[in-house]
C-alpha cells in the first residue's frame, strides 16, 4: 500500500527527462483523450459513417503508436538504438505520419 | 585474391583493409551479376508455353482478369472502380469494382500505360501474358533480400536461384497464367522481407515500407490473411520466448494500425478488416504487445520489490476487466454461425468443413488435399533440404530465423489442406533449402580450403578468421552489412553458388573451426552439386511438360509423330461471337463463364467467381432435369443458347459428363427434388445401357450425346470407355446449332415457345384438372 506514494515520488524524480521526451507523455495523453471522445461519440450517436469513425480512431491510435516509436528511438538510455541519429528517427517519424494521414484523409469519406 | 595475402596483420593492415574492400566490391559485383542471371532464368523458364503454342492466356480465371484489364485500359480507373458488370450472372450482374482484388489488373494496366507512353506498342494481351514471368523474377530478388536478412548473402543467392525454378511457383506463374498469384507471391515475400528488415534495424522507415508492401499484398490476393495472422503469431512467439525488444514493437505496432487502415481502403476487404475473425488475431496481439511493453517499461523504472507489488495490484484489477471484455467478445463472436470466419478460411482451418457445407468449394479441383507424389513433383529436392534448413536456423536462433521456421511450419500445414496452397509453401521451402545448402557448402569448402597444401597451419588461419570477420554484438542480431568474403581456392562450378564467410560465429573466441576430412568434403561437394543438377533438370522438365499447357488449346501426337492441335474452345467462342446477337444469353456450367464473357463477349448466367450458390444450383438443376423442365428453367432466365463440353469423341477427360455429378450435388443442395441416388445405378455412375432412366433422360446426357451415334455407328464414348445407353433420340425443346471440329464443344439453341399448344385450347376446367394432376404426380417441383 505504501507503493502508491512511492510511485509518485519516483515519478517526481523521473519527470525531469531531457526536455523533449517529457513532452511526449503529454502528447500521448492528449491523443488518448481524443480517442476516448470519439468512442463515446460513436456509442451515443451510432456508427453510421463507419469509415469515418474507423479512420478517426485509427488515426488517434496510429499517431500515438508512432509517437511511442519515436520516443523509443530517441531515448538515449536505449542501447539498441545507439547508432540511429535522432534526426533520422524524427525524419522516419515524419514520413510515417505523412503516409498515415494521407491514408486517413482518403478513408475519411 | 589468395588468402595468404590477407593472413598478414599488423604493418600491412592498411594494405589488408584496401584489399578487403576491393574484395568486397568484387564480391558485390559478382552478386549483382548472379542476381541478374537469376532474374533472366526465372523469366525464361516460364516461356515454354509461348514457344510451344502461342502467346495466349491460359485456363479460366486469367480470362476474367484479362477482360478486366481490357476494360481498365479502355475506360480508365474511375470507371473501373465503379464498374457494374451486367454481362455476367444474368440477371443479377456483378459489382466488379467491389468484388475483385485490383492489384494484378492495376499493375498490368500501369505497365501497359507506361510502356505505351514510351511509344513501345505492346498490346494489353502481351502485357498480361508476360506480367507473371516478370514478377517471378522480382519474387526471386525479394527472396534473395529476405534470406540475406536471415542468414547472409550466400544463402540469399541460393534461395533466389531455387525460387526462380521451383515447379510449384512455375505452375501458377507461367507466361500466360495471368492470375492473382503471379504478383501476390512477390508481394508476400517482399512484405516478409520488409518485416524482417524492420525487426533487425528497428527503423520506422522500413516499418512504413512494410505497411505499404502489405497494402499491395491486400490489393493482390485473398491470401493476405496469411500475413496478417503469421506476423502476430511470430510476435507472440517472440514475446513468449523472452525475445521482446523495442524493435519488435516498432516492427509490429505501426504495421497493425497502418495495415488495417490500408486494408480497409481496398473495396473488396472494406470493413471486413475490422469485423471478421481473420483480423482479430492482429488486434489481440496488438493489445498484448502494448501490455508487455508497458510491463517492461515499468519494470525498468521500479525496483524489483516494488515491481512485484505493482504487478499483483495490476493483475488483480486487470483480470476482472479482461474477463468482462472477453465474455462480451465471445458472446458477439459466437452469435454468428460461422464464428466470424469467412467460408474460405473455415475450409482451411477445418478441412472437412467444405465437403459438409459448401459443395462448391469442395468441388474445385484445386481445393483438394495434395497427394504425397505432388509434394515431390512440386518442390522436388527441397523436400529433403528443408529439415536441414530448419536445423541450420536453430544455430543460432535469431528473431528472423524463428520467423522463417514459423513460416514453413504453418505453410506446410496449409499446403496439406489444399493443393493450391503448395504455392505458399514454395518460397518458404526455397528459403530454408537455400540456408541449408549454403551452410553445407560453407562447411565443406572451408574444410577443403584449410586442408589444401600451401596454407599455413591452423592457428594463424584461426586468427585471420577472427581478424577478418566483423565484430559481432553479444546478442543475436545478424549484421546487415556484408562481411569480408573469402573466395575458396577451388573454382566455383555452378554460377549460382557463392561462398560467404558466415557470421555471427557462435563465439568470438573459437580458435579451431571444425573441419571434415579432405576427401569426404570433396565428394560431398560433388554430391551436392549433383543434387542441384537433378533439381534443375526436374524443374525444367516440369516447366516444359507439365505446367505449360494453356488448357484452352490442347495437343496430342498423331501416329506419325506430328502434333495435332485441338482448338475447339476458341472455335466455339468465335462462332458465338460471330453468329449470335450481342444481347443473347448463354448458359453453361460455371467453369466456362469467364472464357465465354472474355472471348465470345456474350452474357452468361454463372461464371467462375461462384459467389452465388443458388444461381449455380439453378443451372445445375436445369442440366439434371428432363428436357421440358430444363427448357422452362432456362426460358425463365432469358437464355437463348446452351453450351456443353463433351470429350467422348477425342477422349478429353474434363468434360461436362464427368463433372455432372457435381452439378447434381450442387443443384440438390438447394432444390431437394434432385437426388443424387437417382442418377447412380448401385452407387456407380454410368452412362451406358445400365444407367438409370433419370440419367438417360436428363438434359446433360441428351445434349452431350445427341447424334453421337453418327460418329462411329456404335456410340463408343472414349472417356467413359463404354457404349452409351440411349443412342437414337430426338431433341424436342432444343436444337443443335454448332458442334466444333472434334465435337468438344456443342452449342444448342432453345426452341421458341410453340404458338399453338395442343390440348390447352380446351375449356379451363380440363386444363385445371391437367395441371392439378401434374402437381400431384411430380415431386414438389418449384418450376411448375
User: What does the H/E/C string look like for B598-655?
Assistant: HHHCCEECCCCCCCCHHHHHHHHHHHHCCHHHHHHHHHHCCEEEEEEECCCCCCCCCC
Best mutation target among A14, A49, A80, A94 (most B Cβ atoms within 10 Å) is: A80
> Is residue A81 pLDDT above 70, yes or no?
no
> Is residue B404 pLDDT above 90, yes or no?
yes
Q: What percent of chain B has pLDDT over 70?
A: 81
CB contact under 8 A, B204 and A68: no
Query: How far, in Å, CA of B407 to CA of B234, rounded?
Result: 9
CB contact under 8 A, B261 and A100: yes
Residue A97 Cα distances to A103, B182, B254, angstroms: 10, 31, 10
> Is residue B147 pLDDT above 90, yes or no?
yes
How high is the pLDDT of residue B507? 41
List chain A residues with CB under 8 Å of B243.
Answer: none
List chain B residues with CB under 8 Å of A100.
Answer: 257-258, 261
State the smallest CA–CA distance between residue B305 and chain A in angstroms.
10
> Is the Cβ–Cβ distance between B463 and B9 less than 8 Å?
yes
State the smallest CA–CA distance between residue A51 and chain B in angstroms.
8
Query: How far, in Å, CA of B594 to CA of B67, rounded?
Result: 9
How many residue pairs bridge chain A and chain B with CB atoms within 8 Å of each other?
A: 91
List chain B residues with CB under 8 Å of A87.
Answer: none
Task: Give the range among B31-40, B723-732, B741-750 with minimum mean pLDDT.
Answer: B723-732
Cell triple for B621: 438443376
> Is residue B491 pLDDT above 50, yes or no?
no
CB contact under 8 A, B202 and A73: yes
Residues of B with CB under 8 A from a CB of A: 202-205, 207-208, 211-212, 245-247, 249-250, 253-254, 257-258, 260-262, 264-265, 271, 274, 293, 301-302, 306, 309-310, 313
CB contact under 8 A, B260 and A58: yes
Best mutation target among B204, B317, B399 (most A Cβ atoms within 10 Å) is: B204
List chain B residues with CB under 8 Å of A70.
Answer: 204
Q: What is the pLDDT of residues B308-352, one digit of tens each?
A: 777 777 777 777 777 777 777 777 666 665 565 666 666 667 666
Best mutation target among B257, B263, B309 (most A Cβ atoms within 10 Å) is: B257
| pLDDT-derived band at B494, boundaries 50, 70, 90 | very low
Whose grid coordinates read 515500407?
A: B209
| Predicted complex ipTM | 0.80
> Is residue B15 pLDDT above 80, yes or no?
no
- Count CB-CB contacts under 10 A for residue B575: 17
Which residues on neighbouring strands pair with residue B643, listed in sequence order? B747
CB contact under 8 A, B254 and A69: yes
| pLDDT-derived band at A87, boundaries 50, 70, 90 | confident
Nearest-CB residue to A3 (from B202, B250, B310): B310
Query: How far, in Å, CA of B153 to CA of B543, rounded?
Result: 27
> Is residue B583 pLDDT above 50, yes or no?
yes
Q: Which range scores top for mean pLDDT: A89-103, B483-497, B503-517?
A: A89-103
How high is the pLDDT of residue B477? 33
Nearest-CB residue to A6 (from B247, B253, B306): B306
> Is residue B782 pLDDT above 70, yes or no?
no
More confident residue, B616 or B770: B616
State the smallest CA–CA distance between residue B250 and chain A in angstroms.
6
Q: For residue B210, give the nearest of B227, B234, B223, B185 by alpha carbon.
A: B227
> Is residue A17 pLDDT above 60, yes or no?
no
Task: Give the range among A18-27, A82-91, B512-521, B690-699 with minimum mean pLDDT.
Answer: A18-27
How high is the pLDDT of residue B772? 46
More confident residue, B487 or B559: B559
State the smallest CA–CA distance between residue B287 and chain A in angstroms.
12
Cell triple for B667: 443443384
B714 class by beta-carbon count within 10 Å (0-12 exposed, 13-18 middle, 19+ buried)? exposed
Q: What is the pLDDT of residues B645-702, one digit of tens each?
A: 998 888 888 888 888 988 888 888 888 888 888 888 887 888 888 888 888 888 888 8
List chain B residues with CB under 8 Å of A50.
Answer: 271
| pLDDT-derived band at B530, boundaries 50, 70, 90 | very high
State the smallest CA–CA distance between residue A9 and chain B in angstroms.
11
CB contact under 8 A, B274 and A65: no
CB contact under 8 A, B207 and A69: yes
**Mean pLDDT, to the nearest integer, of B394-413?**
90
Give the chain A residue nearest B250 (alpha carbons).
A69
| pLDDT-derived band at B775, boundaries 50, 70, 90 | very low
| pLDDT-derived band at A5, boundaries 50, 70, 90 | low
CB contact under 8 A, A103 and B258: yes
Q: Which range scores top for mean pLDDT: B294-303, B324-333, B467-476, B685-694?
A: B685-694
How high is the pLDDT of residue B435? 93
**Mean pLDDT, to the nearest integer, of A29-53?**
75
List chain B residues with CB under 8 Å of A103.
Answer: 258, 261-262, 265
List chain B residues with CB under 8 Å of A72.
Answer: 246, 249-250
Give the chain A residue nearest B307 (alpha carbons).
A3
Whose grid coordinates read 443442395?
A: B669
List chain A residues with CB under 8 Å of B265.
Answer: 103, 106-107
More confident residue, B592 or B770: B592
Q: Which range scores top for mean pLDDT: B26-40, B239-253, B281-295?
A: B26-40
Identify each DSSP E strand in chain A by its residue range: none
Query: Any idea how long chain B is?
Result: 784
More confident residue, B512 or B743: B743
State the smallest CA–CA distance between residue B693 and chain A in angstroms.
56
CB contact under 8 A, A3 and B309: yes
Report the SS3 class of residue B692.
coil
**Mean pLDDT, to the nearest integer, of A1-23?**
55
CB contact under 8 A, A62 and B246: no
How high is the pLDDT of residue B308? 73
**Mean pLDDT, to the nearest integer, of B225-248?**
88
List chain A residues with CB under 8 Å of B398.
Answer: none
Give the chain A residue nearest B267 (alpha carbons).
A107
Report the SS3 class of residue B680.
strand
Query: How far, in Å, CA of B349 to CA of B347, rounded?
Result: 6
Instruction: Report chain B's mean pLDDT, rounded to a whole number.
Output: 80
Query: How far, in Å, CA of B588 to CA of B32, rounded?
Result: 51
CB contact under 8 A, B203 and A92: yes
CB contact under 8 A, B254 and A65: yes
| pLDDT-derived band at B144, boundaries 50, 70, 90 | very high
CB contact under 8 A, B204 and A73: yes
Task: Compute CA A6 distance to the chain's CA centroid, rounded to the nearest angstrom.
Answer: 26
More confident residue, B218 or B713: B218
How high is the pLDDT of residue A57? 82
Task: Compute CA B343 distance to the chain's CA centroid, rounded to the nearest angstrom.
Answer: 17
Amino acid at each position: 500500500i505504501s507503493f502508491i506514494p512511492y510511485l509518485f515520488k519516483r515519478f517526481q524524480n523521473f519527470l525531469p527527462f531531457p526536455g523533449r521526451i517529457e513532452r511526449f507523455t503529454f502528447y500521448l495523453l492528449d491523443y488518448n483523450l481524443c480517442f476516448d471522445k470519439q468512442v463515446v461519440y460513436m456509442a451515443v450517436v451510432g456508427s453510421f459513417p463507419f469509415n469515418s469513425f474507423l479512420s478517426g480512431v485509427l488515426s488517434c491510435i496510429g499517431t500515438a503508436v508512432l509517437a511511442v516509436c519515436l520516443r523509443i528511438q530517441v531515448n538515449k538510455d536505449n542501447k539498441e538504438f545507439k547508432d540511429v541519429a535522432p534526426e533520422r528517427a524524427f525524419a522516419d517519424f515524419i514520413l510515417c505520419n505523412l503516409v498515415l494521414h494521407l491514408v486517413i484523409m482518403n478513408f475519411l469519406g | 585474391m589468395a588468402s595468404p595475402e590477407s593472413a598478414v596483420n599488423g604493418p600491412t593492415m592498411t594494405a589488408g583493409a584496401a584489399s578487403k574492400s576491393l574484395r568486397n566490391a568484387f564480391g558485390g559485383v559478382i552478386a549483382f551479376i548472379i542476381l541478374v542471371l537469376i532474374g533472366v532464368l526465372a523469366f525464361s523458364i516460364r516461356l515454354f508455353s509461348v514457344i510451344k503454342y502461342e502467346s495466349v492466356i491460359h485456363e479460366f480465371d486469367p480470362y476474367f482478369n484479362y477482360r478486366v484489364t481490357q476494360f481498365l485500359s479502355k475506360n480508365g480507373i474511375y470507371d473501373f472502380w465503379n464498374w457494374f458488370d451486367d454481362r455476367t450472372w444474368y440477371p443479377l450482374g456483378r459489382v466488379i469494382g467491389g468484388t475483385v482484388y485490383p492489384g494484378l489488373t492495376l499493375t498490368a494496366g500501369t505497365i501497359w500505360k507506361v510502356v505505351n507512353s514510351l511509344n513501345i506498342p505492346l498490346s494489353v494481351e502481351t502485357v498480361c501474358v508476360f506480367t507473371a514471368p516478370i514478377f517471378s523474377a522480382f519474387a526471386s530478388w525479394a527472396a534473395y533480400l529476405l534470406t540475406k536478412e536471415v542468414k547472409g548473402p550466400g544463402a540469399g543467392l541460393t534461395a533466389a536461384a531455387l525460387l526462380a525454378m521451383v515447379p510449384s511457383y512455375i505452375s501458377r506463374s507461367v507466361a500466360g497464367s495471368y492470375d492473382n498469384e503471379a504478383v501476390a507471391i512477390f508481394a508476400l515475400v517482399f512484405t516478409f522481407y520488409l518485416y524482417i528488415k524492420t525487426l533487425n534495424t528497428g527503423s520506422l522507415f522500413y516499418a512504413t515500407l512494410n505497411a505499404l508492401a502489405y497494402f499491395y499484398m491486400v490489393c493482390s490476393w485473398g491470401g493476405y490473411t496469411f500475413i496478417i495472422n503469421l506476423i502476430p503469431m511470430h510476435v507472440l512467439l517472440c514475446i513468449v520466448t523472452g525475445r521482446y525488444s523495442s524493435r519488435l514493437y516498432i516492427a509490429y505496432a505501426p504495421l497493425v494500425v497502418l495495415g488495417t487502415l490500408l486494408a480497409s481502403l481496398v473495396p473488396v476487404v472494406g470493413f471486413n478488416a475490422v469485423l471478421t475473425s481473420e483480423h482479430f488475431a492482429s488486434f489481440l496481439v496488438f493489445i498484448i504487445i502494448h501490455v508487455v511493453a508497458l510491463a517492461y517499461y515499468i519494470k525498468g523504472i521500479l525496483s524489483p520489490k516494488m515491481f512485484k507489488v505493482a504487478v499483483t495490484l495490476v493483475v488483480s484489477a486487470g483480470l476482472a476487466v479482461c474477463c468482462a471484455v472477453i465474455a462480451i467478445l465471445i458472446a458477439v463472436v459466437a452469435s454468428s454461425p460461422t464464428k466470424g470466419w469467412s467460408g474460405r478460411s473455415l475450409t482451411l482451418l477445418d478441412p472437412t468443413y467444405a465437403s459438409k457445407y459448401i459443395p462448391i468449394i469442395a468441388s474445385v479441383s484445386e481445393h483438394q488435399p495434395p497427394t504425397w507424389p505432388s509434394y515431390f513433383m512440386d518442390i522436388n529436392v527441397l523436400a529433403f533440404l528443408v529439415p536441414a534448413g530448419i536445423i541450420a536456423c536453430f544455430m543460432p536462433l535469431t528473431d528472423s530465423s524463428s520467423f522463417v521456421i514459423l513460416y514453413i511450419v504453418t505453410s506446410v500445414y496449409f499446403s496439406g489442406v489444399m493443393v493450391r496452397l503448395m504455392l505458399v509453401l514454395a518460397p518458404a521451402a526455397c528459403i530454408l533449402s537455400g540456408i541449408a545448402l549454403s551452410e553445407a557448402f560453407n562447411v565443406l569448402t572451408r574444410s577443403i580450403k584449410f586442408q589444401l597444401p600451401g596454407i599455413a597451419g591452423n592457428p594463424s588461419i584461426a586468427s585471420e578468421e577472427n581478424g577478418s570477420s566483423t565484430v559481432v554484438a553479444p546478442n543475436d542480431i545478424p549484421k546487415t552489412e556484408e562481411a569480408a568474403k573469402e573466395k575458396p581456392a577451388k573454382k566455383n562450378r555452378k554460377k549460382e553458388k557463392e561462398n560467404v564467410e558466415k557470421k555471427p560465429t557462435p563465439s568470438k573466441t573459437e580458435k579451431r573451426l571444425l573441419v571434415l576430412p579432405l576427401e569426404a568434403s570433396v565428394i560431398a561437394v560433388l554430391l551436392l552439386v549433383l543434387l542441384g543438377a537433378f533439381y534443375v533438370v526436374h524443374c525444367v522438365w516440369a516447366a516444359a511438360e507439365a505446367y505449360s499447357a494453356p488448357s484452352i488449346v490442347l495437343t496430342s501426337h498423331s501416329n506419325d509423330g506430328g502434333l495435332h492441335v485441338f482448338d475447339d474452345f476458341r472455335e466455339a467462342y468465335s462462332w458465338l461471337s460471330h453468329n449470335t446477337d450481342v444481347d443473347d444469353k448463354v448458359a453453361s456450367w460455371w467453369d466456362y463463364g469467364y472464357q465465354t464473357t472474355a472471348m465470345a463477349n456474350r452474357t452468361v448466367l454463372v461464371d467462375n467467381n461462384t459467389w452465388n450458390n443458388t444461381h449455380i444450383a439453378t443451372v445445375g438443376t436445369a442440366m439434371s432435369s428432363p428436357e421440358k423442365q430444363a427448357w422452362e428453367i432456362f426460358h425463365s432466365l432469358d437464355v437463348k443458347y446452351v453450351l456443353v463440353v463433351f470429350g467422348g469423341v477425342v477422349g478429353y477427360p474434363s468434360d461436362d459428363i464427368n463433372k455432372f455429378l457435381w452439378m447434381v450435388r450442387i443443384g440438390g443442395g438447394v432444390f431437394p427434388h434432385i437426388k443424387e441416388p437417382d442418377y447412380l445405378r448401385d452407387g456407380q455412375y454410368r452412362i451406358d445401357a445400365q444407367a438409370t432412366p433419370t440419367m438417360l433422360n436428363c438434359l446433360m446426357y441428351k445434349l452431350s450425346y445427341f447424334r453421337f451415334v453418327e460418329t462411329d455407328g456404335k456410340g463408343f464414348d472414349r472417356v467413359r470407355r463404354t457404349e452409351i445407353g440411349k443412342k437414337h433420340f430426338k431433341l424436342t425443346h432444343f436444337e443443335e446449332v454448332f458442334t466444333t471440329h472434334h465435337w468438344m464443344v456443342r452449342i444448342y439453341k432453345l426452341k421458341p415457345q410453340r404458338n399453338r399448344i395442343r390440348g390447352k385450347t380446351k375449356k379451363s376446367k380440363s386444363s385445371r384438372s391437367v395441371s392439378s394432376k401434374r402437381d400431384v404426380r411430380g415431386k414438389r417441383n418449384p418450376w411448375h
